Structure 1
Amino acid sequence: MERRSLIQLNGVPLLSDGGLETTLVFHQGIELPGFAAFDLLRRERGAQLLTDYFRSYLALGREAGTGFVMETPTWRANPAWGPELGYSSEELEAANRQAVALLMELREEEERTARSDDRPDPVIQISGCIGPRGDGYVPDQKLSAEEAEVFHSWQIGVLSRSGVDLVTAFTLSAVPEAVGIVRAARAEAVPVVISFTVETDGRLPSGQPLSEAIERVDAETDGAAAYFMVNCAHPSHVAAVLEQGGPWRERIVGLRANASRRSHAELDAAESLDEGDPDDLARLYRELSPLLPNLAVLGGCCGTDLRHVQAIARATLPLLWEGLNPSLDTRISR
């Protein structure tokens, strides 16, 4: 199966979704042990809940006139977390494959709708979402790059063979794990995106500056990552770091921020959802855009929902379209 091209590397703006898990838990009252959304796939009506969720975002992309990156609900579907939830290796593989198949069906449905409306096929990429081996907020200091490559190669292989267009590793907190993931994806010949999370001071939970983390991953993998992202942090947590400048910023193509300004420790201890202010979050995205010359993928993370991504799209997409080379064939009806 041919993979869809990553047109965001040419600066073409794409939307993504918001905080899947926080939406399910706090807005829909669904229990997610281990924050594992993939577990819905074996529950009654679970697949329908995920379908409804992604349909709402695809409609937003249609309304905004832009393409979409759909992340499989497999952030926790790896060999460390699967057994915690009672999955055998075979069941875990089936869940990863089912997650990809679900999004493929949604993409085909959206493409059929576009053709019936006499619109160009929308650019919809399916990204195989993976997470860290351990807790996203606590760096796994004992995990070497070699160990990370071995650990993550299983899930990356399953997702790649299932036909994803790319693999995205979210909420990474240390460089060695990111390096191992890039190497594992390179071995599978699937494009890979590394998304780091940062604390309120703009540093990774490991203590390393974001700039150094990106530069080191590139140095140890010969720049094999397709691009980098930042997720699970408020824009105010990364603004000062970006203002320091440097060519490393050109490697950041995506931003999926939290709604809350709270630290990771505060969010972990919170008993209720901090939804922040969608319009304020959107304003900060717009203000960060000039500091990220290659920003193209816009979405949200913890605490964000359709309202936040809609506000982000309204505030930021005009800036991104303005800077796009008009000679590029975006295949998107604007």
Structure 2
Amino acid sequence: MPPALPQLDGAVLLTDSGLETDLIFHHDVDLPAFAAFTLLRTDEGRELLEQYFREHLRTAAAHGFGIILETPTWRASSGWAPQVGWSVADVVRANREAFDLVAAVRDSVRELVSDQAGPCVISGCAGPRGDGYVVTERMTGQQARIYHQAQVEAFAETDVALVSLLTISYPEEAIGFVQAAADAGVPSVASFTVEVDGRLPDGTPLGEAITAVDDATDGYAAYFMVNCAHPEHIGPALDPTAVWAPRLVGVRANASTRSHAELDEATELDDGDPVMLAAELLALRAAMPAVSVLGGCCGTDVRHIDALGAALRG
């Protein structure tokens, strides 16, 4: 039976941050198709990933918080294999290797900070079949279930606490992913992204999307999140009085207030103000008391998680 999730039992957990943008802009790494899992092929790449997870875990521990670490596998699904020159079998195997890497970092760091650290939850991270910001080829729920099956099953063979689909732009893909997780018997999280008006890229209101997924899956998802959007874009979607409000447990925010279209065209990183972003995330949490998972997405790095930990502790 999967372990209980501390974020659903009163614990406030931080997350890691914008792995891909951190690698590209701060470490000058070429990431084809935004695919961080490709770094698993080299010693240098693995060292960069280990460093990233190590510094986030230590930062959370320094503030006395636990953390959720997402495996570097947002693009590690079959549809992206040709774009990075990998076979589908190699991409599927990369999900298990990514978990092993993160788990090894967790174990080594926790030996040093066990007196400070809260729980460290490892999530098997999946990403959308399409762009993430733009709805192009739209799957039915059943098509999405089949598409995400191999990646979810690969994670189910490890000791991940849950699997998470990040940056979802329409409800049907979330439905299929949650069904695939149910088939594999692993807890799941569906994380939508929103545009500047608080709606999903396909125009669906956030609350309607959450409700649609729960209705289609008998409420199987452990909880829901929003990621890859700035707090001022997420705010219009929130309604603390709504029936679905307790199901929204996590927010991973972008550093920039720019729209998705503007971010796609940007050639320089907009990393915003870490202290201000932390304050804005705390304001969202005050409005939505069920939110217990807070962290960063594109444009953020360990500085933003450090500022968030300090704000939460304060």
TM-score bucket (shorter structure): over 0.9
Pairwise mapping of residues 251-270 of structure 1 onto structure 2 (< 5 A)? 251-270=247-266
How many matched pairs?
314
Contact 2:69–2:121 (8 Å) recurs in 1: yes
Partner of 2:69: 70
Q: 1:172 to 1:41 in 2, by over 3 A?
A: same
Distance 2:306 2:3 in 1: 25
Partner of 1:324: none
CA offsets 1:61-115 (integer angstroms, 9 cap, x no match)? 1101111111100000000001221111221122111101001111211232245
Distance 2:237 2:110 in 1: 40
Distance 2:173 2:274 in 1: 32
Instruction: Name the amino acid aligned to 1:250.
Output: P
1:37 and 2:36 correspond: yes
Distance 1:224 1:200 in 2: 29
Equivalent of residue 197 in structure 1, options 193, 196, 220: 193
1:276 and 2:278 correspond: no
Pairwise mapping of residues 125-274 of structure 1 onto structure 2 (< 5 A)? 125-140=121-136, 142-243=138-239, 245-274=241-270
Distance 2:59 2:43 in 1: 27
Q: Percent identity?
A: 48
1:124 and 2:120 correspond: yes
Gaps of 5+ in 2: none
Contact 2:92–2:150 (8 Å) recurs in 1: no
Contact 1:173–1:204 (8 Å) recurs in 2: yes
Q: 1:266 to 1:120 in 2, by over 3 A?
A: closer
Contact 2:130–2:137 (8 Å) recurs in 1: no
TM-score with structure 1 setting the length:
0.91
Distance 1:230 1:92 in 2: 26
Instruction: Name the amino acid aligned to 1:295.
Output: V
Contact 2:2–2:187 (8 Å) recurs in 1: no
CA offsets 1:155-189 (integer angstroms, 9 cap, x no match)? 00001112211001000000000000000000000
Distance 2:2 2:122 in 1: 9
TM-score with structure 2 setting the length:
0.96
Distance 1:122 1:277 in 2: 26
